[in-house]
Structure 1
Amino acid sequence: MIQPLTGKASRSVELATARFNVWEGAVRSSKTVASIIKWMRFVRKGPAGNLIMIGKTERTLKRNVIDPIIAMVGASRAKYLAGAGEFWLYGRRIYVAGANDARSVEKVQGLTLAGAYGDELANWPEELFDMLGTRFSIEGAQFFGTCNPAGPVHWLKSKWLNRAAVWLNHDGALVEGTGEDLIDLHRFSFVLEDNPHLPRAFVDSLRQQYQGLFFKRYILGLWVPAEGAIFDMFDEDTHVVSDLPLITRWISLGVDHGTRNPFHAVLCGLGTDRRLHLVRDWRWDSARKRQQLADVQYSKHLRDWLKTVPVPGTDGLYGVKPERTIVDPSAKAFRVQLHNDGLPSIVADNAVEDGIRTVSSLFSAGLLDVHESCAELIREIQGYSWDDEAAEKGVEKPLKVADHGPDAMRYAVHTTRGVWRSALRHRLHLPD
């Protein structure tokens, strides 16, 4: 049920009168609902002409924005036509598009727009946002968009938000921009507490779940740099265990493939305690072993190893069959080899920051641990760090050093979130 807008959310709707209007800040802070309300008003009363809605992907746009709109106004006034790439609202056709790569620029080239809505702006290619801004030639055309914060030198922050003519800031104060390079943009910054309708227990759960970088971004709504250790919430005393419960589902085997670099596989299971466990891992470091293996050899070693994995909570049983074998996207030939050997695999979801966020949330919530036998994985988790030089250029990524175990872990956990999420829902709240 959609609650009535209050406080900053209500105020932002009334202030969203600029050519560009951006709601940004904490998760679950009511920024998306406020932007949706304004967008629906614009669709009804705005100038005639083409309209478009863009998300990171069409799927996330539907989940984050289109589905809530349909829930608000009913199926008689809102209809999503997935195959046609259209969304009809109040009798107006709205084009729908994803912004998943630089080629998405082609989706707006040549369009003359009366209005546009954008979801997850910080995940867009910069070229798409720049191109979209040139399409508003109809008098009264406006843009409305939302995002969670990223780094302070991100293009959206440095080139657009910092130049806002009006800023409703995190404290709720209305600040007028200064300088000669201001643009017709109104910026609305939200913190978690700006949503008064969230239950206190839910808010407390979110605040406990996020730590470090993600606490500052997703709870405080700040555009802060990624510094130091990525999994700074990881504590050997807490997250490394010697005893495991009975595993009810062998969720996945995540594989980071390497020939000259280490090959690392991590086995993830769901326990009777409704927590995820990284039960065992297998690693081949060709530099240490002084021997490189071919894919056919990796496949045999991996399959033989799975037969030797001890089954927790049983009296001496060995051998497991993971429901999914998940391999990094670059290892196409290895996936073919696995298939030929009777071990089908799927391509890992390699959205790095999203995957890091998922794993971080699980560690912070106490819903993921690592068995003590995974010595190399434990070592690499603690050394997994952000690339400072890349961050200075506005790109956030981990250092490509000692990252093979964390990558395999990320593949195993993040790619399967649709499988385990319902079992952990009672204690885990991941943002979209």
Structure 2
Amino acid sequence: MGIEDLYSPKQLEVLRTAVRENWRFLIGHGAKRAGKTAVNNDIFLMELRRVRKLADQQTPKVETPMYILAGYSSKSLQNNVLQELSNKYGFDFKFDKHNSFELFGVKVVQTFTGTIGGLGAIRGMTAWGAYVNEASLANQEVFEEIKDRCSGPGARIIGDTNPDNPQHWLKKDYIDNTDPKARIVSVHFRMDDNIFLSKEYIADQKAGTPSGMFYDRSIEGLWVSGEGAIYKDFDEKQTLINKDDVPDIKEYYAGVDWGYEHKGSVLVFGDDYFGNTYLLEEHTAQYEEIDYWVDIAKGIVDRYGDINFWCDGARPEHVARFINEDITAMYADKAVLSGIEAVARLIKLHHFYVVRQTVKSDDSCYLEEVYNYAWDKKTGKPIKLMDDVMDAKRYAIYSQHQDYNEIESGGGI
């Protein structure tokens, strides 16, 4: 078996770069499932062996050089790096009380880049290199600290990332930096570069990825902003169904976007036994107090039972009121892009339907909003206009289909 049987041509390009070129940063960026992290995991092992060799050459010899392994969270590092290496090479990592471990005679110090708290694990240390997984998700201050800590002889930094907004600091300051003195090498991946994925899988991913920004980022690996309508695949003719055509429902749930000056909205959804989601009821109103929404929620409970109400965490007093009224109110996961992608994917795959009688009523704002819900090209986020129903929809669908124990309040828009 030759090396060409183990790595794709794109991965071999990265490996050759890692071995032959004089670089300070090596960043693989692009599509999901394209092979970026897999090859970087192997380069990480190569770098540890190189660091051990460099440490042995110092006078006096450095007994325990340190190396930074960074990721968005403990869970992401475990899933993306450590477990993958264990599965591939049989490593049995032995962690100390600080979550560090030793490999090839190098102490690997883990730090988590999702919050500013990641500074604590590495502040003051001298690192001989770093591996930053999911680099675009890193807090910029933590990333810069990682860079500054890498001051050991010959220290180098490897990283991988999926695309984000083209104005992202990682793209502007590092990936697009062509100054030879910076010694930054970046390699772009497309999903088609991963020759080890089946053609069927790639075809399914292309067919099921929402059009526009999500397709360009996830499949082509491009750093693009959204433009125009967010739910480009929404087709009223295919999506609207009569109430009598709704099949047996497996579970019901609701999404809540609080409002007063702007409209508030409570939406009721149902999932059938075949992976389809139905918008069954919409309650949207302006200038209404919490008593009004409590009455709406109680009416929904009377019709559908004790269902989850996924609520905007911006008004915790309203959530508390629901709970005090024996309404099962839960804080929604307000992740904007992930939530929109989850909804858009259902629409693209024709797994999302809307009861015609609900959205054709005079009080409904759904159709007006879904056609006007648009990207802000400068920020890469939705424009905060005519988005109340869209927010309630995102809160409900994205939160309901996750592990309830991982849902936290706050954040998002």
Tell me, yes or no, whether TM beats 0.5: yes
By how many angstroms is 1:107 displaced? 4.2
Over 3 Å counting, the alpha-carbon distance change for 1:333 and 1:19 in structure 2 is: same
Aligned to 1:176: none
Structure ranking higher in helix proportion = 2
Over 3 Å counting, the alpha-carbon distance change for 1:415 and 1:52 in structure 2 is: farther
Instruction: Encode CA deviations 1:361-407: one digit per residue, 9 max, x unaligned.
Output: 2221222222221442232122111123xx2xxx3211110111111
Letter matched to residue 218 of structure 2 = Y
By how many angstroms is 1:160 displaced? 0.8
TM alignment of 1:89-238, pairs within 5 A? 89-90=103-104, 92-164=106-178, 180=179, 182-210=181-209, 211-238=211-238
2:69 to 53, 59, 64: 53
Q: Secondary structure at the match of 1:100?
A: coil
1:12 to 14, 30, 34: 14
1 CA distance for matches of 2:267 and 2:105? 51
Q: Is the CA contact 2:257–2:265 (under 8 Å) kept in the aligned structure 1?
A: yes
Q: Is the CA contact 2:69–2:132 (under 8 Å) kept in the aligned structure 1?
A: yes
1:358 to 338, 342, 364: 342
1 CA distance for matches of 2:325 and 2:91? 48
By how many angstroms is 1:27 displaced? 0.9
Q: Secondary structure at the match of 1:134?
A: helix
1:272 matched to 2:256? The reply is no
Aligned to 1:417: 401
By how many angstroms is 1:269 displaced? 2.2
Over 3 Å counting, the alpha-carbon distance change for 1:303 and 1:61 in structure 2 is: farther
1 CA distance for matches of 2:248 and 2:74? 39
1 CA distance for matches of 2:355 and 2:109? 49
By how many angstroms is 1:30 displaced? 0.8
Q: Is the CA contact 1:370–1:378 (under 8 Å) kept in the aligned structure 2?
A: no
Identity level (%): 24
TM alignment of 1:223-302, pairs within 5 A? 223-242=223-242, 243-250=245-252, 252-286=253-287, 292-293=288-289, 295-302=290-297
Aligned to 1:428: none
1:40 matched to 2:45? The reply is yes
Over 3 Å counting, the alpha-carbon distance change for 1:215 and 1:125 in structure 2 is: same
Q: How many residues align?
A: 378
Letter matched to residue 86 of structure 2 = I
Letter matched to residue 200 of structure 1 = K
Q: Secondary structure at the match of 2:201?
A: helix
Q: Is the CA contact 1:163–1:182 (under 8 Å) kept in the aligned structure 2?
A: no
Aligned to 2:376: 387
2 CA distance for matches of 1:54 and 1:208? 33
Q: Secondary structure at the match of 1:299?
A: helix
2:314 to 330, 335, 343: 330
Q: Secondary structure at the match of 1:233?
A: coil
Structure 1 gaps of 5+ residues are: 165-179, 287-291, 309-318, 421-432
TM-score for the superposition, normalised by structure 2: 0.84
1 CA distance for matches of 2:160 and 2:7? 17
Aligned to 1:346: 330
1:25 matched to 2:30? The reply is yes
1:72 matched to 2:88? The reply is yes
Q: Is the CA contact 2:212–2:226 (under 8 Å) kept in the aligned structure 1?
A: no
Letter matched to residue 163 of structure 2 = P
Instruction: Encode CA deviations 1:198-248: one digit per residue, 9 max, x unaligned.
Output: 111110011111211111111111112221111112111222322221111
Over 3 Å counting, the alpha-carbon distance change for 1:378 and 1:86 in structure 2 is: farther
2 CA distance for matches of 1:61 and 1:238? 41
By how many angstroms is 1:126 displaced? 2.2
Over 3 Å counting, the alpha-carbon distance change for 1:129 and 1:332 in structure 2 is: same
2:385 to 385, 392, 401: 401
Instruction: Encode CA deviations 1:269-309: one digit per residue, 9 max, x unaligned.
Output: 220232222222222222xxxxx31x34422321123324x
Structure 2 gaps of 5+ residues are: 53-63, 405-413
Over 3 Å counting, the alpha-carbon distance change for 1:256 and 1:143 in structure 2 is: same
Q: Is the CA contact 2:111–2:122 (under 8 Å) kept in the aligned structure 1?
A: no
TM-score for the superposition, normalised by structure 1: 0.81
Over 3 Å counting, the alpha-carbon distance change for 1:344 and 1:107 in structure 2 is: farther
Q: Is the CA contact 1:277–1:368 (under 8 Å) kept in the aligned structure 2?
A: yes
Over 3 Å counting, the alpha-carbon distance change for 1:75 and 1:192 in structure 2 is: same
1:63 matched to 2:68? The reply is no
2 CA distance for matches of 1:348 and 1:80? 34
1:376 matched to 2:365? The reply is yes
Letter matched to residue 64 of structure 1 = N
RMSD over aligned Cα, in angstroms?
2.3
Over 3 Å counting, the alpha-carbon distance change for 1:342 and 1:71 in structure 2 is: same
Letter matched to residue 213 of structure 2 = L
Instruction: Encode CA deviations 1:390-426: one digit per residue, 9 max, x unaligned.
Output: x2xxx32111101111111111111233369xxxxxx
Q: Secondary structure at the match of 1:415?
A: helix
2 CA distance for matches of 1:93 and 1:338? 50
Over 3 Å counting, the alpha-carbon distance change for 1:418 and 1:31 in structure 2 is: same
Letter matched to residue 149 of structure 1 = P
Q: Is the CA contact 2:306–2:328 (under 8 Å) kept in the aligned structure 1?
A: no
2 CA distance for matches of 1:125 and 1:56? 9
Aligned to 2:305: 320
